[in-house]
Structure 1
């Protein structure tokens, strides 16, 4: 707060004076402006952390349209700059409109000073957390996320990474659970030690112990030499067990014993070897399904799940889709020495409208294919072909297949409409039931024109 710079734009000089006096003891610098026409120049010249923007600048036209116009200009110039709208007209439709168009919050004149300070403090704190999370994770991990759900996830990563807590990373296939695990390791106190990844779901019963715990020469037919297991290889560092939800109950029992005793006994040996590892596990199996003891031991869940992190599917990260697509576009254009530079408007819309059952991995492969096959520098909608493996719907012998995209889009629209109606238009309650943020719900209301 003390180093923040805030711009206040209002054509009422009394409001400018009052807000400046209120905020100057809380923030580093307050810039005031009565003429909104100066906003583009100020944004170009100044480094700002937040804008307070009036909704009305023409006393004879009290519609709020002037404020919405300048809100859109600000978001075009500085997309990540938080904007708090100020108005004397507290109608919910105007509040919804401003939030849909990118406002961070909304206050009604006359406001309580404590309320305004709380709003500003909350937004600036959140902005700092997002910046720290982004800086800590690093762009090389391809963890690209400006959406609220991803920023919340990256903030949690920055909080838990320095600890030695065992982490369970949950999420659908293709969401980037392995990238989250890598980010945790890189921000941990073990960052200069080994990071060992094992896809335990792919290990057979016969290979499970040998791979994880090691073996001695002659322990079984093909054991021609001693082999260090993955636990021992990760000693002092991080062990990442991917697809842990797919291992058998027998394998779970062996793993639990090692985690309890913090030592391994290689096959063909009776000598225990102490191991010091930080454990991260990942699975695409929902936590509720893991709680079924016919499938997974509860005592093992508690061992691996000091903290759980949910990686959101790409369909819940609308703001990130184009950013991620551009990242892969530039990556593969360089790799294949192509001149592809950007997407046209129709291609962007196609990227935004698709439902991504294969998540970021599917988007990555689609962009790679498009770069390889594209003829020009600008990729069009026809260059983007999504995986037929992911799209293929199930059908009976006498049933025509309906495109999966149409089904899912329509299902989402109907679900949102029904839940909002169920709660009588209460956005907070509807968002809670849908499992998304209020901001994400507003975007979908706008997208489906509900």
Structure 2
């Protein structure tokens, strides 16, 4: 029996980063935790076919790193020993942004560089150390088991791949971390649970390949060339990952990459000539490809507003991309998932302190707390995405003014380290957005100057 017992059994659907983080939290409150994973046990530090985005560049922001360290004490040190690169976020990132290079300096934010499979493997190894955890691979969660009288989901129908046999798995709490394609949203709609949904069409395509760069001294660990919207539609990044390799990701909005012959490596590199700067093209000239070219498309950002829904069934929660899918260009998905897991932990701890059980207040509490994590990130992203005319969806109030002000911040970040430092703290989810509107930053952003 665990120290804080809220129930006998909890289920997590999906063993991606969101699901693993949720499972780590649940193992502290339930006698038994079961992860239902539709895929096979993953190979060591290799992308899983169930996670197609795993082949592409992923950023672990400082706020996400801190959340992971709270969930898995010692994980950062373990990753460094295994090959993750620790960098100064404002010194070793060479960033061309909205037509200017950021003013680089030695700041107080240090972050880790590694591939998505590398990070996921370390998280998985630590989760598996829990004696009360069980992972059922090759098993698909089909739909919930609903107790209509109590308006409570008490389990899931699942199907084993080997036998095609349908089984019923019962639990006191169920977390869906199966990603943006979760089938359970459809079940909520079919059962007339009215859940507001916010959808923003971004029409994004991103393409990645891993390289061994030519020998030579470089003054960066991550090189990022961001498009100046709406003129430029293509951006790119080269980032060091474990094994002395570099992953190159090219991303394009509004079908800009759709008709290109990016399957051929030479044409892929030639596409970097379309970037606002030729820096990445020069780095890739003569570099040795170490992987196939991988393509992934994200037509929409989608946010499910379960915090606004009424009369939801109890004891079933979404987390990670299953709750909100961001534009991956901004690299905030993994970090937000880890922070959502901390929000879940806070709510479960409150349940234990107040009732020593699971109350009917838990579902609403968790969604409200998670929405506070999601809100500022969602708003920051759509302010940028709506610079493109093709992007369609609900626009925030004061969009034009916000876009004007943030562009000023980007330009000042090329001249003033205080402005850039404030921006990078917000970007890394360490400080609230209103930090960028403090009197000292306002003065520096709005003052006249070249």
More helix per residue: 1 or 2?
Answer: 1
| Between structures 1 and 2, the one with greater strand share | 2
Task: Please tell me the TM-score bracket, short chain as reference.
Answer: under 0.3
Structure with higher RCO (Cα < 8 A, 6+ apart): 2
User: Higher Cα Rg: structure 1 or 2?
Assistant: 1
